[in-house]
Amino acid sequence: MAKQTRAAAGLRFGIVVARFNQRITGKLLRACTDTLAQCGVAPNDIQVVRVPGAFEIPLVARTMARANRFDAVICLGAVIRGDTPHFDYICEEVSRGIGQAALETEVPIIFGVLTTETVAQAEARADQTQFNRGGAAAESAIEMVKVMRRIRGEADNVTGSNLTSQNGQARLRRTR
């Protein structure tokens, strides 16, 4: 368990999570919210929106980013290859849509959507005892908020700090 820090206290996060493959996405969501909490994000500063599947994630992510209520939006889902080309179409559109939404809104929108060949691969990437992509997405969101604030010349409430990770666990490291 990561040592609790205040690296993200006062920041607000939107999370869009697909209900499809709930067994996997539920673990991603749990790791994501746990990591945000470990970094000092208050429960009231996290809004979770559930959507039917990964294809619906980009629209909701862009809408959340445009609402000017979130410092970053985290997208969580799991697309697992099947016997048809459906996997390829969904993965391409989800990744394109999330990237486009981030560029259009200039709000960090984090891609935490698993795209795996098998259920076993998805389960391994959602395992909280290993590297969990949900926790990693939360870490990326915090880091990107800080990067964007530095670029824009905005005040950063944890000046001289970098968020680093080890096995998907949040850690705050002082820099000079």
Which residues are catalytically annotated? 86
Distance CA 34, CA 150 (A): 26
3-state SS record for 11-26: CCEEEEEECCCHHHHH
The sign of the dihedral angle between the CA atoms of 37, 43, 44, 50 is: positive
Sheet hosting strand 46-51, strand order edge to edge? 46-51, 13-18, 72-80, 109-116
- Residue 123 identity (one-letter amino acid): E
- Please list, in sequence order, all residues whose beta carbon lies within 8 angstroms of the beta carbon of residue 2, skipping any fewer than 6 positions away: 35, 38, 169, 170, 171
